[in-house]
Amino acid sequence: MCLFLFKGGSGTSSRIVSVDTNQYTVGAFVQGNFGGRKDLTIAGVPVGRELTSAKPIITTKEKDGSIIVVIATDAPLLPMQLKQIAKRASLGVARTGGIGRNSSGDIFLAFSTKTPTLNEQETLETWQSIPKDQMDVLYEAAVQATEEAIINALMAAETMEGINGNTLYEIPKTELKSLLQKYNRYKK
């Protein structure tokens, strides 16, 4: 998994949101394998342009890559609402610098763990859903969790050498910290 030409892979993140008096969790799981180095953005800082060390060793032709994002929530949502939540994953990807290149294979899914209630005879299901005009907090949580899950995948990855000497380096954390401090995005 090559993520912005650093070692990538799997990452997770979540947010807790409130709708009326109810709290819900929105979680994102990503499998990231995309992006050019110059595109990487963290906390609005174009760090990929400035991180010049740890260049990968790639002996095969580079491809555009892909990302899979699965968003899970316990909020009561209907299938069409979940489709809208899944679409918000692309905004989280974009916030890290991903642009969905021509041959990129991006997959975004969302599901809710909330189940319908059954009557005593189990012959009638009753579904609940959050009203459309209350969805914005869930959309925002999906975007933020996706963005953070991608960054978490970068931060957790370790340098790896593969077949034919192909080597992907972990993101240089000390250099990254200095860059974020330079742009006032990291507090000591």
Cβ–Cβ < 8 Å for 153, 4: no
Q: Mean pLDDT per segment of 10 residues, for the chain of length 188 residues?
A: 94 97 97 93 95 86 84 97 98 94 87 94 93 97 98 97 92 94 86
Region at 76 (left for phi over 0; alpha for psi -120 to 50; beta for the rest): beta
Which helix (H) or strand (E) element contains residue 174?
helix 173-182
Q: Where residue 102 sits, what CATH number does that domain have?
A: 3.60.70.12
Domain count, the chain: 1
Residue 188 lies in a domain: no
Gap between the Cα atoms of 8 and 31, Å rounded: 8
Residue 77 lies in a domain: yes
Residue type, 11: G
pTM for the predicted model, two decimal places: 0.93
Residue 111 lies in a domain: yes
Catalytic residues: 66, 104, 106
> Can you give the length of the chain in residues?
188
pLDDT at 58: 86
Gap between the Cα atoms of 171 and 178, Å rounded: 13
Residue 187 lies in a domain: no
Quickly list H helices, 31-172: 47-50, 79-87, 89-95, 136-156
Could you list the residue range(s) of the whole structural domain that residue 156 is in?
2-182
**Closest alpha carbon to 95 in 27, 31, 147:** 147
